Chain A
Amino acid sequence: MSNAKDVTDASFQADVLDSEKLVLVDFWAEWCGPCRAVSPILDQIASEHSDKIQLVKVNVDDNMEIAAKYQITSIPAMKLFKAGEVVKTVIGAKPKPALESDFAEWLK
């Protein structure tokens, strides 16, 4: 189980958009196999860069408003937020080195 905080439609503003830290949002669902596969990899990346980024999760089944707002049509979708704006989107489960290189600019 991931230790990442579950963010909801109601808490998205406070937990993500108003956060002073970079926030990596993992849009996922129970029924999505690739989401389950990538989840521990995101946990690892977040724990190795805990000074830089915070990982949170949005369950799209329960939080359709936020999923719709960010036009999610494929999961896992990982969006990195900086000061309330999306600065990077990665879609689909990828191996750790690939995700690290996708987010390299913000993990430095």
Chain B
Amino acid sequence: MCCIPLWAVHSARTPAKEIFQLRQTIIIGSGPAGYTAAIYAARAKLEPLLIASSVEAGGELMKTTEVENYPGFPEGIQGPDLMMAFQAQAERFGTTVVLDDVTALDLTGEVKRVTLGNGDVHEALSVIFATGSAYRKLGLEEEERLSGHGVSWCATCDGFFFRKKTIAVVGGGDSAMEEATFLTKFADKVYVIHRNENLRASKTMQDRAFENPKIEFLFNQTVERIYGDETVTGLGLRNTVDGTERTLDVSGLFVAIGADPRTHLVHGVLDINPDGTIAVEGRSSRTNRPGVFAAGDVLDPTYRQAVTAAASGTVAALDAEHYLASLPKDLLATAIGEATPDAVPA
């Protein structure tokens, strides 16, 4: 088998347009993990190519506002500004950033092949896979149809349209708290719906939401139905304790119930854990395929913070350097970028 076929959005496959010279390393993903891997790999003179995606470059932080827990920014920093800074730092040391999507991957041989949406094929001796995670959906019948018509996954994008409205956020983690708090800038009333009484969100984020007079928590409730013809008009809720049902009139629903690792490109090729993350060896970033490394949320079922993702990107870059140093010198010599055996701690 040569290539893994890709996903749904790429209905039209373009024939290979150009095949580029072999590289030391290609990084797939442009969140904190991908860019940090690129900073390390670039400083090690590997001249990495980073495939950033066409419309999601910068990853999840592009959709957030204030980031207050990234070290080094005592006053906080806007998510998009942080990601622009990551990119600039990666480029400063010689990373080439490509705004396109990976449509197929061949990770089986010593030379890995990465096919892009525009048909270009890039080859490298190592690949760092840092594709992050994708929003989880509720799995309700009307969710897809009303998506963009009151159902949203991005408060910073869509909150503006709910001025003086009553809306709901479903979820109990940091992102649900952040969205709810952010949405009170626009909405008159924000319900936070959570299936039990234990929020996963950090204490700071919880307190901020609890103190906000526009936010009301509805604990032990699940969203069973979304009502609305053209746009959302209400929700059907079920009480998880006594099973009672009720209707909640809202004109918007923001879904913040977590995310799943984005691994569709590597199914059947890389070992995947039962929780959906990519399996790696111990504390390393090494997958079951030699020369293929994983970083960031795609391998992390637990922490999933910008700073842990960044750290994970560092691990992957160092592992990749170490792997490259073990390859035959004549093979390395054919690839763009230098890999020097003594550059990396073993």
- Residues of A bordering B, CB below 8 Å: 29, 31-35, 37-38, 41, 60-61, 67, 71-75, 77, 91-98, 100-101
A71 pairs with B54, CB closer than 8 A: no
B148 pairs with A95, CB closer than 8 A: no
Q: A34-B63, A93-B56 are in contact. Are A73 and B12 (CB under 8 A)?
A: no
Q: Which of B14, B56, B62, B148 has the most chain A CB atoms closer than 10 A to its own CB?
A: B148
> B70 near A: Cβ within 8 Å?
no
Interchain CA distance A72-B148 in the complex, whole Å: 8
Q: A33-B62, A37-B57, A101-B12 are in contact. Are A71 and B148 (CB under 8 A)?
A: no
B12 pairs with A100, CB closer than 8 A: yes
CB distance from B211 to the nearest CB of A (A): 25
CB distance from A53 to the nearest CB of B (A): 18
B161 pairs with A73, CB closer than 8 A: yes
> B2 near A: Cβ within 8 Å?
no
Closest A residue by C-beta to B55: A93
Which B residues are CB-close (under 8 A) to A97? 9-12, 14, 117
B101 pairs with A74, CB closer than 8 A: no
> From DSSP, what is the main secondary structure of chain B's interface residues?
loop
A–B pairs, 5, beta carbons within 8 Å = A32-B157, A71-B230, A73-B252, A74-B161, A95-B55
B161 pairs with A72, CB closer than 8 A: yes
Q: A33-B63, A34-B154, A73-B231 are in contact. Are A67 and B161 (CB under 8 A)?
A: yes
A71 pairs with B11, CB closer than 8 A: no
Closest B residue by C-beta to A100: B12
Closest B residue by C-beta to A37: B55
Give B142-168 interface residues, CB cut-off 8 Å to A.
Answer: 147-150, 152, 154, 156-158, 160-162
How many chain B residues sit at the interface, stated as a range, is: 20 to 34
A34 pairs with B55, CB closer than 8 A: yes
Which A residues are CB-close (under 8 A) to B149? 71, 73-74, 91
Q: A96-B117, A97-B9, A98-B9 are in contact. Are A74 and B158 (CB under 8 A)?
A: yes
Q: A31-B160, A72-B161 are in contact. List 19 more A-B contacts (CB 8 A).
A: A29-B160, A31-B156, A32-B156, A32-B157, A35-B157, A37-B55, A37-B57, A73-B150, A73-B161, A74-B149, A74-B157, A75-B157, A91-B148, A92-B148, A95-B100, A97-B10, A97-B11, A97-B117, A98-B11
B158 pairs with A71, CB closer than 8 A: no
CB distance from B168 to the nearest CB of A (A): 14
Closest B residue by C-beta to A32: B157
Cβ 8 A contact of A37, one of B56, B156, B161, B252? B56
Give 8 closest A-B pairs by Cβ, nearest first.
A91-B148, A93-B55, A74-B148, A98-B9, A33-B62, A73-B161, A37-B55, A95-B54
Which A residues are CB-close (under 8 A) to B173? none
Cβ 8 A contact of A94, one of B9, B57, B152, B158? B9
Q: Which of A73, A75, A92, A94 has the most chain B CB atoms closer than 10 A to its own CB?
A: A73
